[in-house]
Amino acid sequence: MKWFRIPKESTTPPTSGSYQDWKPQLADEGRFQCVYCAIHENNFGGTRNFHVEHYRPKSIARFRHLIDDFNNLYYACSICNCFKGNDWPNDPPSNPSIPLVYYPEPSKMDYNKLFVVREDWIINGQSVAAKYLVEKLYLNRPQLILERRSKFLLNRLEKEVKHLQLLSRRISGSELSIELKEFLYQKSVDMLSKAVSLLVQKESIRPYKAEDIEK
């Protein structure tokens, strides 16, 4: 799962309607994934589980005029959208290196640069603002960790399968040695067991824990 900067400057805002009407365009602009946690709508119940997110919250009086401002709107999953709610700790500082708690603007910042993904698929914020984002939007919820892991595993399995196909083509016609048969067998079993273990976990995972709603 990868984040990316939303290129608002190259989007033509709609000329009619209001924010509720613009979800399809926001989804397209956001590549059909959540602007904050990067989960794709395929893995999270499709577009009905996604919201039109007001980056500057529409419930805050001084931002009310931005309610139908396309540049303030993003495509976000319902979980991130609910966790963020009306929260707005500070306006973004003019200098992004200032250590301040705020929400980095998705059209100005590539969120990929905000986080480091650890080996156990937990993400760490690289700045005060990024740490706050991880904490407040609970970007290490169980479902996201599993999605990161499964994305990585899928890429790896694709590579391994290609490698095995190449290997089997190379040796076709010649007799397989016992060692090679054993190697191919072990490799296949290893890949399958990883995939099965992941699928079993995905079957039983709850997207987030009940107590985390209180965070």
3-state helix, strand, coil in the chain (%, to 5): 50, 10, 40
Name residue 73's beta-bridge partners: 54
Rg (CA), the chain: 22
Q: How far is the CB of 67 from Zn ion (least distance, A)?
A: 21
Site residues for Zn ion, 79-98, by CB under 5 A, read 80
Q: How far is the CB of 36 from Zn ion (least distance, A)?
A: 5
Is 130 among the residues that bind Zn ion (CB under 5 A)?
no
Task: Pick the binder of Zn ion from 34, 52, 130, 134 (CB under 5 A).
Answer: 34
Q: Which residues contact 1 (CB under 8 A, 6 or more apart)?
A: 33, 37, 38, 39, 40, 144, 147, 148, 151
Residues in the chain: 215
What is the distance between the alpha carbons of residues 5 and 13, in angstroms, rounded to a whole number? 17
Q: Which is nearer to Zn ion, 52 or 80 (CB)?
A: 80
- For residue 177, the minimal CB distance to Zn ion (Å) is 50
Q: Which is nearer to Zn ion, 34 or 73 (CB)?
A: 34
State yes or no: residue 123 binds Zn ion (CB under 5 A): no
Q: How far is the CB of 50 from Zn ion (least distance, A)?
A: 8
Closer residue to Zn ion in complex, CB, 35/66: 35
C-alpha to C-alpha distance for 54 and 101, rounded to whole angstroms:
18
Give the binding site for Zn ion (CB under 5 A).
34, 36-37, 77, 80
